[in-house]
Amino acid sequence: MIKQPKQSDEKQIILSRSSNSNFSIKKQAQTPNIDLNQQVQNAYKMIEQGMKYYQNQQYSMAKVVLVNSSQILLPVIKQKKQNQEEHATEHQELIKAINTAEICTQKVDQLFQNIASQDPYSKQIIETAMNRKFEVSFDEIIGLESIKKQLDEVLILPNLRPDIFTGIRAPPKGILFYGPPGNGKTLLAKAVANQIKCCFFNVSASTLVQKHLGEGEKLMKTLFKIAFQFQPSVIFIDEIDSILSSRSSEEHEASRRLKTEFLVSFDGMQTSDQDRIFLIGATNRPQDIDGAVLRRFTVKILIDQPDQKARLALVKSLMSNVNHSILGPAFDKICEKLAGYSASDIKAVVKEACMQPLRQDKIAIVTISAQNIRPVRKEDFEFAINKVKPSLTEKQYQEYISFNKSGS
């Protein structure tokens, strides 16, 4: 957590309380189109909703709502303090939300311990698949602006105001991220979990595919059961095509049973509009996923290769702490040559370019000071681009575009 200079006494108390918790309260930018009174009213409604969840012993949901309401009240209190306005009521509500969220955190921790001690399958899921805290935010992800807005609408806002997103406005249960590798599918899923402040289950083939017959589907069933108990929760299945590929008469019985259990658990994971369990799948080969599984992902999002603007922002970000002599127009030309490169490919190109000055001063590298290493030049990037080729061919890329147009 970054401390701001000259904090008010109230803010110092709040931050010190939250720093010892499993959650943190971070300063959020105020929405310019909403006045302070409206922000306060929204926060009060969220606190009221959170207290209802607490009374109903829905501790995970209560903690999420109360922490997010606190994030709304904190900048309001600070602004009122600067304007020398009374803010006693808002301060009391904020302290109430934080204290209740602390209690919810303790209740959730105790529940985790109880479940893990009673059931070996639950213990395995909790120890190997569950993460409860991430430091990744949408602001740290370069590019993908339209996708971040879409995720904000279908996942994040419904968790901030679950009382509004009900009925026909209820969020989707399944979201599929697909596209070329190395463009941020996993990072986006972690950012979603961090924005919601929820439990995150990171699942892969190694988590669910077991050597003993019947264990895989038991783990699958337990995964959805725990996610339901600790909602709001996100189940993220990376490389989902490796687990839920198209069924055939030649596949192993264990694989078929695992897919059947997934379909049954997926259909039953939300019993009402207030349930907040989300399944996010990520794949580089969406065409290999079983049709019945694919139909259950009602929202399919293509995580495309970075465009010119995103490439430029990514290169400049990677070069921010590196001494270089490249001017603005030269950066633009470099990024034009990087068309067709994934985000991970671009990182490899920048790394290769930055290594060139070290290779030329290889003899003196032991004695030379860091300040005397020559700056990275445009020629270094030209060398790197010729050496590091894009990992995806044009034919492979067109397969993603075709899948996106087909709406499969």
Residue by residue, pLDDT tens for the chain (408 residues) are 333 333 334 333 333 333 333 344 444 444 444 577 787 888 888 888 889 888 988 888 888 888 888 888 888 888 877 777 777 888 888 898 899 989 988 888 888 888 888 788 888 888 888 876 667 888 888 888 889 888 888 888 887 777 788 888 888 888 999 988 888 888 888 888 888 777 888 888 777 776 566 677 888 888 888 888 888 888 898 888 888 888 777 777 777 888 888 888 888 776 666 778 889 999 988 888 888 888 889 899 989 899 999 999 999 999 988 888 888 889 999 999 999 899 999 999 999 999 888 887 666 677 777 777 888 999 999 999 999 999 888 888 888 888 877 765
Which H/E stretch holds residue 302?
strand 299-302
Helical segments of 175-249, H only:
185-196, 205-208, 215-229
The three-class DSSP label of residue 85 is: coil
Adjacency order of strands within the sheet including 199-203: 130-131, 199-203, 233-238, 277-283, 174-178, 299-302
- The pLDDT value recorded for residue 353 is 92
CB atoms within 10 A of CB 194: 18
Burial grade of 397 (CB within 10 A; 0-12, 13-18, 19 or more): middle
Q: What are the two backbone dihedrals, phi and then psi, of residue 198, each rounded to the nearest 5 degrees? A: -120, 175
pTM for this entry: 0.75
Structure tokens, 118: 């009673």
- What lies within 8 Å, CB to CB, of 39 at 6+ separation is 30, 31, 72, 76
Cα dihedral across residues 305, 308, 313, 317: positive or negative: positive
- The pLDDT value recorded for residue 387 is 92
Q: Yes or no: say if 125 and 219 are a contact pair by the CB < 8 Å rule.
A: yes
Which of 61, 275, 42 is closest to 165 using CA atoms? 275
- The pLDDT value recorded for residue 20 is 38
Which H/E stretch holds residue 385?
helix 378-387
Backbone φ/ψ region at 167: left (φ over 0), alpha (ψ -120 to 50), beta: left
Spell out the domains of the chain, with CATH numbers in brackets.
1-116 (1.20.58), 119-305 (3.40.50.300), 308-391 (1.10.8.60)
- The pLDDT value recorded for residue 23 is 41
- The pLDDT value recorded for residue 338 is 93
CB atoms within 10 A of CB 206: 9
